[in-house]
A and B are shown apart, each in its own frame.
Chain A
């Protein structure tokens, strides 16, 4: 048996040029008995970490390589021999990528010599320069090309690649390749240029080719593959194919043996922190930690010092001091530049992080498990995620890191965008040449989000007009699962940043992100974590911006508030939560959270931590919510599953809600060691591998059985663990979030004007539209004044104790520069008239109409229509854009506008059109008289349970959570509040388009009032058709 090794394979990480995941390639190569496999993705090592991980599992050796796009358009495959070669490959790709554009970044031939050390090159397949020269009969070019490669890569490092795909005519070129190799005394190397793992994946490759060439299968012709011979082939088949060239096969094994580079150790080092002279990083960390602890803790005594010493000792032992210091440094930058920052994630379990000011909650006071953050058995770096205000403040932190570590020393982690959902189906449909009408109807069936699971794909296709008997329906159905999850293109992670001691581009190739000024690595955060590269998550949170701005406004008004000093026992804040009056409050404003609050009735800070953690897919799917609420209400006894688990689960009434509890459960009930618990943690967080989860579950079950745990308890434990695999919150993370919940709720209660102004200034964010926020503010007694050119600034501002002046930032279509010009002109001197305003601000006509329409010019005109009448007049003869061609300056100001003022309905329509909200009456209030049988949201508490009612309003939210088994929640807003309806799956499927498309709905159903949480169980849904109804658009989460 020959030891054939495929040394030229491409995965789907070649983005539309390969049809299999690296994991599939590894599995197939192992199944075929190959000892190794080389992955040469196009212009990168995107798939290398995944191949490396999968290969390890299958006992295969992963060889790193890449196909380089050269300046002349030809493709040069290179393989990595050693660490120097890997470093050179990464730097070569980075140089090309950062020199070129996102779309095109070829490697220059002259760059190759500098980076050739440690690399072996193949002459390539049909896209290679050598094959192309031979195919056009240019033997001279072929010979000189080979000589050039030999001079660049050196003797023994150039292989003439020969492929046989059973295509007519290939023997001619292959014959020439053999002759050339003999003449130049170069070794031949057989490969199959694998583009997929198995033959069955060839259709996927054809579809990807169509997507890449913007065509469809009927028109693609010769752009498609001519047969299905580009898969991984067994040695036996390759021996038959290359029976005449045994040395070409033998060379694959020999070369594979030579290529010993492994991704096990990339030589990555986290940057060293520059410490003062005489200090080491460890000593300096101790010094700054203790200094911080003195300000954080009232008494720096026994337990605190013990914990700090324990943590510092472990940090020193693991060599992580530099990491902590650098994160501390980022924190200091934020403090110096007035950027609100808070650490989240498991870092909140660390007293060192708390002392350094990285996190806001005291792990000792909250009894948090430090081992969840850092343990001796832990592989890889600990996670420290930093929440920052979204927008420019976060960007300034990111840019500071680029500045400190250089473009080649820091990068955002990638976010691999994969084929999924309706966009994937749209692309497959286009490739199959289905009519645009069918495709748009298909997309229309999904108002947003991914597939709801209430209808299978076939039924959806049928509803879109593609019946099962359609000649292409079968292909459509077969392709989707094969293409689902394949990489489509590379994006950037929202906040994950990696930095490196020395050059990061020696570890991973870097390239431009779509966003100007950003550099992105070729791996995602999981790949980086797997390879031991430290990631610092700089996450943007809209609520952080709101809090920062609120606190600023409080300070400006002479009523400063310090976030850390807020009392945690404020009854009014708890009352707000118990009444579910939480629109605008961080995390607990969603419909599901608001439906839980009156049942959970938070009465202390830890209740908020539970509230944050319990409404997550994990606990919901694991059926943990109801048991917890029932136990809390005393409706069922507390059950800690097993007496051994009482100490772990008692504080959550026997319901495991936090990751820490799950780990502790495993340690207590299954005697898992720290390392095994760590393995469980990784499996819980490792969404990509069901296999990993299955293995750890088997281990857990076996351990519990060995320990004689009752089968019923085993099943309960395993179910709880399984739920957390879907999504479970670490307790420390929940505490960090609860901190933000508390602050935002406190501000809503005690500083509503500042809070609502900041909320409106930081849109879009959160669960609700500005219109709903404004209405909620009004219910809290705030007064909102409309946008006015005489008073408004760019942002919403405070006028008096409880009054907010809407800002020009809310005007849709008003240029920000023009808006600021209005404020600047007004600051010089007030506007004397509309003519004066127009002359000085020189806004364009559309902006003037917009402002007039929303009443922003009302101080300069009688009413909105008066303003609309006058803005159409020419200001001066030079007004080339005037319809009248400029007829004289001062308009007929004396003449009154002959137009009638707008009606309330017209004003509401103009407001929603121009700003998306109105300070006037709610549209439902305008039509209320016509709807005598419709219940107002505020009146629903007076309905008896089970009473049939009719509700109506502006659809502000449609939600079809994956955990709800097809049930859809619809929130209707009227002038008194929000009514929530529950639409059963069958009714939703019947009226899907009506429910997802209409802005105003009328829903009939029966009242369901449980623990003061009111829902309407819908029995019918109807369109509410009134010409006066114009509302805000809905936030949909299907």
Chain B
């Protein structure tokens, strides 16, 4: 026997998964923007009863149902739901096929007492398990996988578990679209007026095969309920995770290190066995107030070396201060395939990227995260705009920004943040700065260059600045900036 575990409307469920407000009975539809047109791919029963159909554009759907809630697809949540479904399926049978993201096919040959089994009760229990995880499910149970799938697709909210006893009778009235024929074959069959499996099987198999080729023959077999196929079995994804709950809450994080070392040794050994390496580690520390401290560590050069992995954690704990006591610890490793890369002749590899990352982590602990990295200029006219990126020594050097500011004149040492200043301006139209008072620059200005005007982002908040290069009496060269009535000293020039 086979069981098809099918979750109808999983894209809708995924799109609604993390929404705060409940949709209630309001009509909603999920649209997919892939390809040239955005179309409805799933809709709620309320939307369906208002005439919203799959394949409609949002405009057409809104024409049918003015208060339709349009939702975008949520791929991450869909993946998560697919994994959830697979997890439940794997818990019910050792032989599971992940037929589609919202469909698992289970071979029930291993189930005990298969002959006298109450499949309806068994299926209901399985459906309840899925429902407890927030997913709707329909089950079909039949003698072959395809028949089971058709049964699952025909199950409904009132009878969510459908076991097929009399296959020919069950199949005869089913709509042909349930077999998902390819578009060209579907068009031909539609032209013939063949809309149900019964109508298809009334035609001779040999005639169908002669006209529609192998696909036609396959469809015919499936429509008869005779098709058999081997499942492409999958295993539930192995989790590389170690966890421990303390009997008594810990005041400091330091005692954890001993435990974490054991976790890392265990996990590294398992990874090594599987020929995998750690791409990232996730540390979770449940706290006594019910909150949870979490931290994700990217491993710059994925490895299964326990020492390297532990050093990452050790460095982090050096600067970790928690307000709450700890009630547990959980370490999860994301396994990846080891990468082998050959460098080019003149290409230098960082000798130990993990050690470098560890050094950066130590620096971050001192200067604060967000203040470490390789500066990359942003493509904007706004002054001093850059991001800090983690170095990627494997990537070729980034090309210079097209149209970027030409490096002219003296080097400027920027004050970050710029220093507030009081500036006395000349009465003339250009309002040149004459005297400046600030932390770094103070005194009479003897010469100026400018102004240089900059503005941008007018489509949102907008900004504008007027910059002046000034020479002080003592020979010091500074860059001043005026934003409205507010002056700052942006930096000083190296003379």
Contacts and interface: CB of A to CB of B under 8 A. Distances in A.
Interface in A867-890: 868-869, 872-874, 882-885, 887
A472 B454 contact: no
Given A883-B216, A1023-B51, A222 B404 contact: yes
B210 A884 contact: yes
Contacts of B409: 169, 172
B70 A437 contact: yes
Interface string B46-67: 0000010000011110111010
A437 B70 CA distance: 10
Interface in B316-357: none
Interface in B282-321: none
A885 B381 CA distance: 64
Interface in A459-493: 471-472, 475
Interface size class of B (residues with CB under 8 A): 35 or more
Contacts of B378: 221
A166 B469 CA distance: 13
Nearest to A895: B207
B211 A883 contact: yes
A606 to B, nearest CB: 46
Contacts of A436: 33, 38
A185 B194 CA distance: 88
A475 B63 contact: no
B141 to A, nearest CB: 33
B460 interface: yes
B449 A171 contact: yes
Given A221-B380, A900-B193, A172 B408 contact: yes
B257 interface: no
A1025 B51 contact: yes
A997 B59 CA distance: 8
Given A436-B38, A872-B188, A1023-B51, A444 B59 contact: yes
B460 A441 contact: no
Interface string A223-240: 110111100000000001
A440 B62 CA distance: 12
Contacts of B211: 869, 872-873, 883-884
B401 interface: yes
A88 to B, nearest CB: 34
Contacts of A443: 59
A217 B458 CA distance: 10
B403 A223 contact: yes
A301 interface: no
Contact of A475 (B188, B207, B405, B458): B458
B379 interface: yes
Contacts of A718: none
A865 interface: yes
Centre residue among A224, A226, A869 by max chain B CB count within 10 A? A226
A997 B58 CA distance: 11
A575 interface: no
Nearest to A906: B193
Contacts of B454: 226-227
A437 B403 contact: no
Nearest to A891: B210
Nearest to A868: B191
A887 B211 CA distance: 10
Contacts of B452: 166-168
Interface string B199-221: 00011100101111101100000
Interface in A159-192: 166-169, 171-172
B459 A472 contact: yes
B475 interface: no
Contact of A997 (B60, B194, B401): B60
A206 B456 CA distance: 10
A991 B65 CA distance: 10
Contacts of A902: 193
A873 B210 contact: yes
Interface in A883-924: 883-885, 887, 892, 895, 898-900, 902, 906, 910
Contact of A441 (B62, B192, B203, B404): B62
A853 B455 contact: no
Given A227-B454, A441-B58, A1023-B64, A869 B459 contact: no
B279 to A, nearest CB: 30
A169 B60 CA distance: 55
B280 interface: no
A432 interface: yes
A601 interface: no
A222 B381 contact: yes
A165 B449 CA distance: 14
Contacts of B188: 849, 868, 872
Interface residues of A, number: 61
A884 B209 contact: yes
B38 A222 contact: no
A472 B33 contact: no
Interface string B349-382: 0000000000000000000000000000011110
Interface in A1002-1021: none
Nearest to B64: A1023
A792 B379 CA distance: 64
Given A441-B58, A444-B59, A471-B460, A168 B51 contact: no
Nearest to B210: A884
B191 A997 contact: no
Contacts of A169: 405-406, 408-409
B109 to A, nearest CB: 36
Contact of B192 (A166, A226, A227, A868): A868
Interface in A688-708: none
A437 B192 contact: no
A899 B211 CA distance: 14
B402 interface: yes
A824 interface: no
A437 B72 contact: yes
A994 B405 contact: no
Interface string B444-476: 000001111111101110001001000000000
Given A240-B430, A872-B188, A217 B408 contact: no
Given A217-B459, A444-B58, A898-B202, A437 B209 contact: no
Contacts of A222: 379-381, 401-404
A871 to B, nearest CB: 9
B31 interface: yes
B429 interface: yes
Contacts of B449: 171
Contacts of B207: 892, 895, 898
A874 B210 contact: yes
A269 interface: no
Contacts of B191: 849, 852-853, 865, 868, 910
B460 A135 contact: no
A316 interface: no
Given A444-B59, A885-B213, A996-B63, 4 more contacts: A167-B453, A202-B458, A223-B403, A226-B381
Interface of B: 31, 33, 38, 51, 57-60, 62-64, 66, 70, 72, 187-188, 191-194, 202-204, 207, 209-213, 215-216, 378-381, 401-406, 408-409, 429-430, 449-456, 458-460, 464, 467
Interface of A: 135, 166-169, 171-172, 202-203, 206, 217, 221-224, 226-229, 240, 432, 436-437, 440-441, 443-445, 471-472, 475, 849, 852-853, 865, 868-869, 872-874, 882-885, 887, 892, 895, 898-900, 902, 906, 910, 991, 993-994, 996-998, 1023, 1025
30 contacts: A166-B451, A167-B453, A168-B408, A169-B408, A202-B458, A222-B380, A222-B403, A226-B455, A227-B454, A432-B459, A437-B58, A440-B57, A440-B58, A443-B59, A444-B59, A475-B459, A865-B193, A868-B191, A869-B211, A872-B188, A883-B211, A892-B207, A895-B207, A898-B207, A902-B193, A906-B193, A991-B66, A997-B63, A998-B63, A1023-B64
The 6 A-B residue pairs with the shortest CB-CB distance in the complex, in nearest-first order: A221-B379, A444-B59, A883-B213, A993-B63, A997-B63, A872-B211
